[in-house]
Amino acid sequence: MGKKRKQRSFAAAESPETVRTASANSRRRPWVRRLHAILGLISAFNLLVLLSTGLLLQHSTLLRLDERTLSRKILPNGYRPQDGGSGVRADIVVADLHSGRLFGVAGALALDIITLAWFVMLATGLVMYLSSQRTNGRARPRGEIEGFPEEDS
């Protein structure tokens, strides 16, 4: 029939101290995971808008966005009054949505805040990854790095 796989047991390799350290690390940093998840959910919508508007801008000539207009009914009040009452060219609206200018100063500020949230997500993701590497025994303890013996104080 099928070949029987030899399963490696890590139970013998793990000491009670290693298990205790892993559970202590997971209890110590629940806020990192929670912060990472919340920021990920908030910034996911913004990333979707940036990706879709970037794609539209990249292919604006193919889609002839400069020939199309968007009605004032779907745009914020006071947006580009210099363009008249009928509507605004679609390529201008897409570029302003992509940059955050569609919603004025508040939109640009919101994009800046979400960009900072992406940096925090990057940092928290690295913290979670590195702490899991250390608790799983894949990373060397600080004192065992070659060439840098641990100093006794």
Q: Residue 43's closest CA among 117, 128, 123?
A: 117
In a domain? residue 85: yes
In a domain? residue 79: yes
Query: Domain residues for 123?
Result: 34-137
* Distant-in-sequence, close-in-space partners of 71: CB < 8 Å, separation ≥ 6: 86, 87
**What total of structural domains would you count in the chain?**
1
In a domain? residue 9: no
Could you tell me the pTM of the whole model? 0.59
In a domain? residue 10: no
> Along the 153 residues of the chain, how does pLDDT read in single tens digits?
555 555 544 444 555 554 455 455 555 568 888 888 888 888 888 889 889 999 999 999 999 999 999 998 898 888 888 888 888 999 999 999 998 888 888 888 988 888 888 888 888 888 888 887 777 766 555 555 555 555 555
In a domain? residue 147: no
In a domain? residue 45: yes
